[in-house]
Structure 1
Amino acid sequence: MTATLTAAPGAPTAVRILPSRHADRVGALARRAGLDCAPGRAEPGTVTVVVADDAERALSGPREPGPLLLVCDTVGRSGLLLALRVGAVVLRTADLTEESLAAAVRRAGQPHPSIPYPELSHLLTADSQPGRPGTDEAGPTSLTVRQSSVLRLMAEGHQNADIARSLDCSEHTVKNVIYEIMARLQARNRAHAVARAVRHGLI
């Protein structure tokens, strides 16, 4: 049975937890975090929560539409990259608490989910080989200084207005730079752009 969880005031997000081995534990934590649990079909914008052993395996099959949160025992670099490409948020089972679950749900419900520093650090360091930036035949080879600066701020979860203030430029300029980044990296969204840049050693 699928449950729909509606967030308490201050966290206007609905969550649908798909049935799995540890879904009951996640549901209990969600209720203790102040989320109201009620059965029913998910409304538009609902965050789907998938509880699985491995992030990469969880994303290998058909995916639910809309925002996605993965709660997984094992989260490797390839799993993180795949999650970023599809705009999903990942939470390790080892880090699962009422607070971390509520925060991950809120993050997944954002139009452009940010990447927490531990995940970004893991992407930048795990499984890397010195001297190999991780490019492939179709991969980009470089970004301009401005593009790299904007991309790093995007990876930290900053929105266009924040980026414009940080770089002392207009929001229009930021939008243009993001458009250039998307085209250069052939990215579908902001998270995908960050994932591709990390994969190719550009940030």
Structure 2
Amino acid sequence: MIRVLLVDDHAVMRSGFRTILEAGGDVTVVGEAATGAEAVAAASALDPDVICMDVQMPDMDGLEATRRIVADPALRAAVIVVTTFDRDDYLFAALEAGASGFLLKNAGAAELVSAVRVVAGGNALLAPEVTRRVIERFAAGGASPSPASPVPTRGVTEVPPGEPLTERETEVLRLLARARSNAEIAQELYIGEATVKTHVSNILQKLGARDRVHAAVIALRHGLG
């Protein structure tokens, strides 16, 4: 079971998220918090796998709470910032704070559940509405996802000796740079989703990228978008 902590100053919103997430069968909500300070304390006490974090809250906002949680080596939780506001300042501040995901509250139920599963698996996830803006901003050198994880600048052809991208991996990377999902890549290349996942894993390893967003940045910087 994926253990989730819900952080939002509106009880109705937390209740709705709980109902949606627990209906999936593989997620359990282990706690709730209404402020950033409560979130930090609850994260330490409950040790969740994933935290769904609002931004605008009393006492301490979600961005500061995210910074503190991610910076604590004793905590393993991945944070998804979930907000009503589609604002670049919130988006990039969340990534710089170390959030693993950014989702808008108008997301569908399936999208919320999928986001929790994705970040629980150690991957990053961005709302489709903001993915391209993030890639373009990173590609222009205007932001990095977090001080501890700068965007790699190594070129596609400068991967470690003996580990060049294969022709198929290059095709997959081009589609990543266009914000395609694994399912979309599989459909376009006429291969299985499991094969796509393997290619993506190999690409991240060879490029030294933390996640698919970083890989897409590298691709754009080298004309593969």
Distance 1:157 1:30, change over 3 A: farther
Match of 2:207 in 1: 185
Runs of 5+ unmatched residues, structure 1? 1-11
C-alpha displacement at 1:142, in angstroms?
A: 2.7
CA–CA distance in structure 2, aligned partners of residues 174 and 102 of structure 1: 21
C-alpha displacement at 1:82, in angstroms?
A: 4.0
C-alpha displacement at 1:147, in angstroms?
A: 2.9
Runs of 5+ unmatched residues, structure 2? 23-28, 33-44, 144-149, 158-164
Higher relative contact order (CA 8 A, sep 6+): 1
Letter of the structure 1 residue corresponding to residue 134 of structure 2: L
CA–CA distance in structure 2, aligned partners of residues 39 and 172 of structure 1: 34
| Contact residue 68 and residue 108 of structure 1 kept, 8 A | no
C-alpha displacement at 1:176, in angstroms?
A: 5.5
TM-score, structure 2 as length reference: 0.52
CA–CA distance in structure 2, aligned partners of residues 173 and 101 of structure 1: 27
Q: Does 1:166 align with 2:188?
A: yes
Match of 1:8 in 2: none
Q: Does 1:17 align with 2:17?
A: no
C-alpha displacement at 1:75, in angstroms?
A: 4.1
TM-score, structure 1 as length reference: 0.56
- Equivalent positions of 1:131-146 (< 5 A) are 139-142=153-156, 146=168
CA–CA distance in structure 2, aligned partners of residues 102 and 171 of structure 1: 19
Aligned residues: 173
Letter of the structure 2 residue corresponding to residue 60 of structure 1: R
Match of 1:32 in 2: 16
Structure 1, residues 1-56: CA drift from partner, whole Å, max 9, x if none?
Answer: xxxxxxxxxxx8653124xxxx231x412323535777587576x43122235776
Letter of the structure 1 residue corresponding to residue 212 of structure 2: A
Distance 1:187 1:120, change over 3 A: same
Match of 1:119 in 2: 130
Letter of the structure 2 residue corresponding to residue 158 of structure 1: N
Q: What is the RMSD of the two structures over their aligned residues, measured on CA atoms?
A: 4.5
Helix, strand or coil for the counterpart of 1:140?
coil
Match of 1:5 in 2: none
Match of 2:67 in 1: 60
Distance 1:176 1:55, change over 3 A: same
Q: Find 2:105's aligned residue among 96, 99, 108.
A: 96
Q: Does 1:157 align with 2:159?
A: no
Identify, as 1 or 2, the structure richer in helix.
2
CA–CA distance in structure 1, aligned partners of residues 47 and 62 of structure 2: 25
CA–CA distance in structure 2, aligned partners of residues 32 and 137 of structure 1: 35
| Contact residue 30 and residue 102 of structure 1 kept, 8 A | no
Q: State percent identity of aligned pairs.
A: 18
| Contact residue 50 and residue 77 of structure 2 kept, 8 A | yes
C-alpha displacement at 1:201, in angstroms?
A: 2.8
